[in-house]
């Protein structure tokens, strides 16, 4: 059973050229998503599901089918695609949306939009993050090995040093795990950056400026789930809405949902480690470095150029 790649892309708009997720950064205008799909297919994924917004769904479908129409999986079959939409009013029956709310419900809500179409193990990624070949291989191998399990998920963690930006401080969820490498907690840190002395400093959840281990694993939102996750997350979302339906800004994030499952002992999450270096366009100043990195990949033959023909 080939796993599915679920891409969080609801932040995109119909004017692709001005949005970082559809920004051409590769030597031939390739986007970060193009590289993610290439790596996923090479690792054994068989389908890509995009989470988008309704107002650009049709244009987005046309773009995707045109770009990837000749892409085949490792077994020679065509790569499959599907699309689901995330909207504010897509909430369980019995709840009434606060008309003043404009902010989306968050990443865990976005994933729930795919509960009726994904029946196989799946990975979740951000559309605007580069995760690297090793990360997708690690994820695919784990998903295929856990095709028949329930209540056991995974998170591919990146060494903190491999996720920092030279353009400024970033926010990172630093992971803690038990002796069996199962996730126990993810603590959000802000303004994470490397100082002149080579050490990494951050503001912890209490607002204190502390030194953090550059080799610590952090979450870049690369999760692996089996289909039973949807049912657990749906129930957790109902609990979340009971407390927050009238809130204007609180969001239902994947780490929040997973943390509740861990505490309730309804799921456990294996923390995997990748040697890959993450990068993305967190700041405008990051763009030239990302463009240079993709050019380097092409020059060294890490990826074919153009990526798709």
Q: Does any domain span residue 309? A: no
Mean pLDDT, residues 133-145: 98
> Residue 53: which residues within 8 A CB-CB, separation 6 or more?
10, 12, 13, 85, 86, 87
pLDDT tens, 42-55?
999 999 999 998 88
Mean pLDDT, residues 206-216: 94
Check residue 151 and give its pLDDT: 95
> Residue 18: which residues within 8 A CB-CB, separation 6 or more?
none
> Residue 30: which residues within 8 A CB-CB, separation 6 or more?
24, 294, 306, 307, 308
Q: Does any domain span residue 306? A: no
Q: Are strands 209-212 and 200-203 parallel, antiparallel or unpaired?
A: antiparallel
Q: Does any domain span residue 199? A: yes
Q: Does any domain span residue 295? A: yes
Contact 53, 14 (CB under 8 A): no
Domain count for the chain, please give it.
1
Q: Does any domain span residue 255? A: yes
Mean pLDDT, residues 268-276: 97
Contact 111, 153 (CB under 8 A): no
Q: Does any domain span residue 96? A: yes
149 phi, psi to nearest 5 deg: -100, 165
Check residue 167 and give its pLDDT: 83
Q: Does any domain span residue 79? A: yes
Check residue 205 and give its pLDDT: 85
The widest CA-to-CA distance across the chain, in whole angstroms, is: 56
Q: Quote the mean pLDDT of the chain.
A: 92
Check residue 77 and give its pLDDT: 96
Check residue 290 and give its pLDDT: 93
For the chain, the distance separating the N- and C-terminal CA atoms, rounded to the nearest angstrom, is 27
- Does pLDDT of 58 surpass 90? no
Check residue 12 and give its pLDDT: 53
Check residue 76 and give its pLDDT: 95
pLDDT tens, 5-35?
999 988 754 333 334 456 789 999 999 999 9
Check residue 282 and give its pLDDT: 78
- Does pLDDT of 261 surpass 70? yes
Percent of the chain with pLDDT over 90: 79
The residue segments making up the domain with residue 63 are 4-299
Residue 5, Cβ neighbours under 10 Å: how many? 25
pLDDT tens, 215-228?
999 999 999 999 99
Check residue 165 and give its pLDDT: 87
Check residue 21 and give its pLDDT: 52
Provide long-range contacts, Cβ within 8 A and 24+ apart, for 291-299: 291/25, 294/25, 294/26, 294/27, 294/30, 294/35, 295/26, 295/27, 298/26, 298/27
Using CA atoms in the order 76, 2, 34, 296, what is the torsion angle rounded to 10 degrees? -80
Q: Does any domain span residue 308? A: no
Residue 283 to residue 85: CA distance in whole angstroms? 27
- Residue 61 maps to which CATH number? 3.90.550.10
- Does pLDDT of 135 surpass 50? yes
E strands, 66-110, in order? 80-85
């Amino acid at each position: 059973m080939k796993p599915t790649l679920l891409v969080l892309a609801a932040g995109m708009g119909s004017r692709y050229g001005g949005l970082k997720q559809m920004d051409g950064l590769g030597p031939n205008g390739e986007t970060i998503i193009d590289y993610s799909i290439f790596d996923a297919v090479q690792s054994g994924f068989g389908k890509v599901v995009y989470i988008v917004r309704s107002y650009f769904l049709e244009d987005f479908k046309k773009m995707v089918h045109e770009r990837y129409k000749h892409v085949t999986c490792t077994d020679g079959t065509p790569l499959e695609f599907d699309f689901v939409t995330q909207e504010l009013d897509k909430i369980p029956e019995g709840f009434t949306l606060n008309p003043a709310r404009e902010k989306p419900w968050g990443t865990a809500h976005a994933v729930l939009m795919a509960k009726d179409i994904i029946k196989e193990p799946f990975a979740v990624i951000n559309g605007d993050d580069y995760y690297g070949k090793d990360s997708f291989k690690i994820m695919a191998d784990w998903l295929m090995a856990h095709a028949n399990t329930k209540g056991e998920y995974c998170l591919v963690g990146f060494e903190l040093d491999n996720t920092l930006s030279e353009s400024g401080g970033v926010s990172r969820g630093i992971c803690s795990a038990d002796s069996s490498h199962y996730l126990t907690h993810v603590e959000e840190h802000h303004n994470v950056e490397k100082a002149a002395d080579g050490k990494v400093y951050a503001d912890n959840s209490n607002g204190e400026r502390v030194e953090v281990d550059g080799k610590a694993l952090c979450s870049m939102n690369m999760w692996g789930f089996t289909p039973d996750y949807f049912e657990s997350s749906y129930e957790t979302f109902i609990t979340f809405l009971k407390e927050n339906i009238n809130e204007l800004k609180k969001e239902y994030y994947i780490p929040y949902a997973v943390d509740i499952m861990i505490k309730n002992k309804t799921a456990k999450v294996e923390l995997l480690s990748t040697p890959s270096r993450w990068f993305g366009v967190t700041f405008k100043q990051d763009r030239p470095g990302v463009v240079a990195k993709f050019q380097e990949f092409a020059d060294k033959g890490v990826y074919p150029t153009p990526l798709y023909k």
